[in-house]
Chain A
Amino acid sequence: EDQVTQSPEALRLQEGESSSLNCSYTVSGLRGLFWYRQDPGKGPEFLFTLYSAGEEKEKERLKATLTKKESFLHITAPKPEDSATYLCAVRAGYSSASKIIFGSGTRLSIRP
């Protein structure tokens, strides 16, 4: 069964303190790994798509990397506005309309 596990569940950092969030996955035929940001009461906001091991994507203070079994979201020198829940999702299956499956997310809190 396709599965996505994120760790830690929650992470509290001081402003400027860099760290990484982990997403491990089990899927038959990965066709994309996605990172989203979700603010309370809002929908997931797309950040990155990664397709193959070794791929990296960057956006401002965020950098996502992918291996054959897991992905990391690195946050460099975070600011309070980076506080949110970060969701990892995988797309499996070969249908064009394939769903994505979400992990439980990591709640990130950045203290000023």
Chain B
Amino acid sequence: EPEVTQTPSHQVTQMGQEVILRCVPISNHLYFYWYRQILGQKVEFLVSFYNNEISEKSEIFDDQFSVERPDGSNFTLKIRSTKLEDSAMYFCASSSRDNYGYTFGSGTRLTVV
């Protein structure tokens, strides 16, 4: 069964450092998303991406965040200057044209120290 792959599974970074989280969505999917989940809280929407541009972003997705699809397979989330409150699980998801189901990756656990 096709999967969304995320790397790394766990990243520890110093406050103020830049991090890039990587995702390989399902190959024939058209829509890409990043979500995050702070420990014990809801899964929260960050950004959606289609046709090489951002479709929608939440209030959380401020100027410190950016997304990119640098080639035909990867989808990345960059946090320019990490803060302690950025510590969370970050999930990438993708969906096909019919949006029948959103497939999520296993996540990257980001710890900012």
- Within 8 Å by CB of A49, from B41, B101, B104, lies B101
- The digit string for B48-69, where 1 denotes a CB below 8 A from any CB of A, is 1110000110000000000000
Residues on B with beta carbons closer than 8 Å to the beta carbon of A91: 99
**Interface residues on chain A, number (Cβ under 8 Å):** 26
Bound state CA distance, A28 and B56, in angstroms? 17
Contacts known (A42-B107, A43-B91, A43-B107); A100 close to B42, Cβ less than 8 A: no
Could you tell me if A43 and B104 are in contact, using CB atoms closer than 8 angstroms? Answer: yes
Contacts known (A34-B101, A42-B106, A45-B104); A96 close to B43, Cβ less than 8 A: no
Contacts known (A43-B106, A87-B43); A97 close to B48, Cβ less than 8 A: yes
Could you tell me if A46 and B99 are in contact, using CB atoms closer than 8 angstroms? Answer: no
Answer yes or no: B103 CB below 8 A from chain A CBs.
yes
Q: Is the interface of B mostly helix, strand, loop or mixed?
A: strand
Query: Closest residue of chain B to A43, judged by CB?
Result: B104
Residues on A with beta carbons closer than 8 Å to the beta carbon of B25: none
- Residues facing B in A25-50 (CB within 8 A) are 31-32, 34, 36, 38, 41-46, 49
Could you tell me if B33 and A99 are in contact, using CB atoms closer than 8 angstroms? Answer: yes
Could you tell me if A97 and B91 are in contact, using CB atoms closer than 8 angstroms? Answer: no
- The digit string for A1-36, where 1 denotes a CB below 8 A from any CB of B, is 000000000000000000000000000000110101
Q: B43 to nearest A CB, angstroms? A: 4
A interface residues (Cβ-Cβ under 8 A, vs B): 31-32, 34, 36, 38, 41-46, 49, 87, 89, 91, 95-105
Question: What are 8 A-B contacts defined by CB distance under 8 Å?
Answer: A34-B102, A36-B104, A87-B43, A96-B31, A96-B97, A97-B31, A98-B56, A99-B48
Listed from nearest, the 4 A-B pairs whose CB atoms lie closest are A97-B55, A43-B104, A97-B50, A102-B43
